[in-house]
Amino acid sequence: MQPLQVKEGIIIRKGEKTKQFVIEKTALLLNQRGFLSTSLAEITDATGLQKGGLYNHFKDKEELMLESFKHCCALVNEQMEPVMASQPTSLGQLTAFIDFYCGLDFPGGCPIVNATVEAHAVSPPLYEQAGQAMDNLLAFIGEIIQSGISSGEIRAQVIPKDAALFILSAVEGGLVMHKLYPGNSSITTVREQLFRYIESELKK
């Protein structure tokens, strides 16, 4: 039987603790160096575990990759939550979301973009997870817009899913452009154009 650890009233098995340690140690590494291209040697160096030790906790490298991707998304969400919570209005939340993502301060950049570009036609499981994460973001923005329509902040003619798709596509595209051209103002241009879009097309 595995030894147990009690933390905040939750019983955690030693194996589960080790598994979480590996995920936390490798998630940012994979997001920076590539979920698929990071070598097993780099992972063992980062965790201090050998291949056999890793595979005691993960079926294979793909499972570790998927868990690391989910962990990266959770970390981004943790950063974003207080930013969004500080805004009492739907328009304020949209502006805060755009400002947060355009200025995303996360090692390696947006994990959804990274996984999508890297996994397309190579790793269906990772590509599917990236799609699910993007769907969640689209739904999140769409709900904010729908709430704004209900409260009278946003025009009733606006279609939430279309507006959400436009905003998120612009933001994620801006992040890719910023990676390609880090020295220019591409991400600033995207942010300012989206703010104008909110004022001219969404705001009632």
Query: What pTM does this model have?
Result: 0.89
Over residues 33-65, the pLDDT tens digits come to 999 999 999 999 999 999 888 988 999 999 999
Domains, the chain, in order of start with CATH, read 4-202 (1.10.357.10)
Angle at 24 between CA 9 and CA 179, to 5 degrees: 140
The closest alpha carbon to 110, from 177, 183, 26, 193, belongs to: 177
Residue 192: CB atoms within 10 A of its CB come to: 13
Range of lowest pLDDT (14-23, 85-94, 116-125): 14-23
CA distance from start to end of the chain: 62
pLDDT in the model for residue 13? 66
Per-residue pLDDT of 160-176, as tens digits, reads 999 999 999 999 999 99
DSSP 8-state assignment for residue 185: S
> pLDDT tens digits for 20-38?
999 999 999 999 999 999 9
- CA 31/CA 114 separation, integer angstroms: 7
**Can you tell me the distance from the alpha carbon of 104 to that of 95, in angstroms, rounded to the nearest whole number?**
14
Alpha-carbon distance of 48 to 42, in angstroms, equals 10
